[in-house]
Amino acid sequence: MKQEAPLHALASYLPDGTFGQVMDFLTIYKVHLTITRERQSILGDYRHPDGRGKGHRISINGSLNKYAFLLTLLHEIAHLTTFNKYGNRVAAHGKEWKQEYSFILRDFVGKDLLPHDVETAVRQGMNNPAASSCADEHLMRVLRNYDKKKETHFLVEQLQLDQLFKTKDGRIFRKGEKIRKRYRCEEVASRRIYLFSPVYEVELAD
């Protein structure tokens, strides 16, 4: 389900003090912003003008905490500014996008807009941003500190060996050993093996 976001209502999704800077981007580039409440697999999305009257479009998962929402929105704005400069001639998360995202982030650090731990994590990854906050494991752990607590939800790395867990689509897995950077987990029903990020959030199985 998607809902159109009145621009004045956007402030409630953002950290205090960031609304004006975000609005500058949205206004200058005439961005059509949509906040999506029920999307699980994608944090944000950018669509460039299609030549048929639709301009820059960004959608963001509205269930994100304020700091994750801001960083995801800035991530998508970086896609916009990259498209404006290079069109479709560069990789989606290539060096050009990294440069744009880093440049945008610099306007939001050092101004007491972010908690110390979030700002430190952002600064650590700013010179070489990951393709998503989910791919930056340290940042993901820090951002999760600001989520509403859910008693039965944990990161895969927090579970015990052989513990059963459930993914968002309802499938049941058994946690296995860590192989390099990911955990080897067996789907109970099919006995197929899948590799999970340490910071992937799952629910304990009954």
For 93-125, the pLDDT digits (tens) are: 999 999 999 999 999 999 999 999 999 999 998
Distances in Å between the alpha carbon of 39 and those of 1, 2, 86, 127, 187? 8, 9, 29, 29, 23
Give the pLDDT confidence of 4-25 residue by residue, as tens digits: 545 668 999 999 999 999 999 9
Q: What is the mean pLDDT of the chain?
A: 89
Give the pLDDT confidence of 38-83 residue by residue, as tens digits: 665 678 899 999 877 789 999 999 989 999 999 999 999 999 999 9
- Which residues sit opposite 47 in a β-bridge? 57
CA 91/CA 95 separation, integer angstroms? 8
The pLDDT value given to residue 149: 81
Closest to 58 measured CA to CA, from 106, 16, 18, 5: 5
pTM of the shown model: 0.81
The pLDDT value given to residue 1: 40
